[in-house]
Structure 1
Amino acid sequence: MKIVRYHNFRQLTPAPLQGSFTRWGGVSSGPLAELNVGSAVGDDPERVAENLRRIRRALGLEVLVSARQVHGARVAVVAAVPAEDLELDGYDALVSACPGVGLLVRQADCQAVLLYDPVRRVAANIHAGWRGSAANIIAAAVGIMTGEFQCRPADLRAAISPSLGPCCAEFVNHRRELPPEFQAYQVRPDFFDFWAISRAQLQAAGLGAARIEQAGICTRCHPDFFSYRRDPGCGRNCSVIAVGRER
């Protein structure tokens, strides 16, 4: 199992439990090989369950909370530790201060934007596809962290996961699909830098530029990740973050 850690969260004390997972190290087969976490792509549910168990064990987590993502801008607060793995319906961002609860975002080119407040010890995981970016789900999640948990945006650390890079983020219908302000992030005709868009949205929400990191790995280019742009019949990667327990 390969876990990509591309930021300095581990330098914090106490550090969150987190990582972005490649497609390797699971039990799924065929185009879903190996570590597919998608339950709606035709995989055997028992294989998906085993893949999730492996992810949970790899990070030392008690439970995983995910969402049935809808490319919207709704944010769920996980206020208590569920008795077992839980999937919430209709959300695209999760926030929690519960130690040991892994917040999981499924991906197949979309970004996971991981947030952590080392002062208030609050974590968030944001599923940011182009629709979520257009709706500025990042601002919505930061707003929940500040409003519900009294986090200060200046204290937050952010990381942008492996996802579709500016090399491959082609939107031929961008004049109809994307907000006018996104035109500034067009790197060549019809291609957009959504990593830069997320960085800009994070900074607009109050995070300092030095506290924002990105993997810089394009999932369509990199064979270690599932990519819907490369293979529409693929599985789903995931990124996970959780508040660690104090020792």
Structure 2
Amino acid sequence: MFCRSGGVSSGPFASLNLSFHVGDHPDNVRCNRSRVLESLGLGRLISVHQVHGDRILVADHRHLNTEPEGYDAIISSLPDTGVLIQQADCQAILLWAPQEQVVAAVHCGWRGSVLGIIGKTIACLRERYAVSPDTLRAVISPSLGPCCGQFIHFRDELPKWMHAYQVRPQYFDFWAISRHQLLEAGLKDTHIDMAGLCTRCTPQFFSYRRAVQTVDGITGRNGSIIGLPKHLSGGQNQNSKSQISGA
């Protein structure tokens, strides 16, 4: 999970913007992505043009160096390859199946939460790779926290069961909602980690809600990446770790 520092972009995209779709120069984005991959020791990257939907890309070699449109989750078993979620307040849910050596990355804003994209991705892992959900590891990235998660029209936008996660009038804890959805999908509570950092409150991250108040919503995108190492060994990779880089 990367903060916004350490890249080459400037202006509202300063400096580690990882999105081609926000107005930054493509050469800057390519350089930033190259730096990210180098820091992770990975050679290749797969990303998608996210649309706040619930379609899942099961990636293969055809998707390298492309960015298919219309997906919000990526599943990969390719070695030496990271899968990228681009975000500026939305969550990235990163999933790892240590026994099957499969990873997944989910872009989850409030629309994705309503559509149940987390559970759908886990169901796809079960169907395609025979992953038992109780063996999955998950981490919830920095994203809009309950301190800043205001939804004025929540009665029209959010299903009633989510209303229980209202921490004060109009403010919702979507970190807790995602944890609930992970548990509902079969994960163990002890297998779920959470960054617990609000992107709106933390200047080291890009934040759309912060940018709306200053520069008409023009801002870069943070990146959360999970990938398998170049040389895979059977079973759990004892060298795996989770970190937030660039803080």
Is the structural similarity TM-score above 0.5? yes
Q: Are 2:218 and 1:233 equivalent residues in the alignment?
A: yes
CA-to-aligned-CA distance 1:21-46 (integer Å, 9 cap, x gap): 00000000011100011212111111
Give the TM-score of the pair, scaled to structure 1: 0.90
Q: Are 2:58 and 1:39 equivalent residues in the alignment?
A: no
In 2: Cα distance, 1:45 partner to 1:153 partner: 38
Runs of 4+ in 1 over 6 A off after TM superposition: none
**Alpha-carbon distance change, 132 to 83 in structure 1, aligned in 2, over 3 angstroms:** closer
In 2: Cα distance, 1:246 partner to 1:151 partner: 17
Matched position secondary structure for 2:68: strand
Gaps of 5+ in 2: 212-216, 234-247
Q: Are 2:96 and 1:96 equivalent residues in the alignment?
A: no
Residue 179 (structure 2) aligns with: 199
Residues 1-247 of structure 1 correspond to what in structure 2 (within 5 A)?
A: 20-78=1-59, 80-82=60-62, 84-231=64-211, 232-244=217-229, 245-246=231-232
Matched position secondary structure for 2:95: strand
Residue 245 (structure 2) aligns with: none
Q: Give the CA deviation at 1:234.
A: 1.0
In 2: Cα distance, 1:109 partner to 1:152 partner: 30
The number of residues matched between the two structures is 227
State the AA in 1 paired with 2:167.
V
In 2: Cα distance, 1:35 partner to 1:90 partner: 24
In 2: Cα distance, 1:37 partner to 1:98 partner: 21
In 1: Cα distance, 2:205 partner to 2:24 partner: 17
In 2: Cα distance, 1:200 partner to 1:215 partner: 16
What's the C-alpha RMSD, in Å, of the aligned pairs?
Answer: 1.1
In 1: Cα distance, 2:112 partner to 2:76 partner: 20
Give the TM-score of the pair, scaled to structure 2: 0.90
Q: Give the CA deviation at 1:83.
A: 8.0
In 2: Cα distance, 1:113 partner to 1:125 partner: 6
In 2: Cα distance, 1:233 partner to 1:130 partner: 20
In 2: Cα distance, 1:115 partner to 1:219 partner: 21
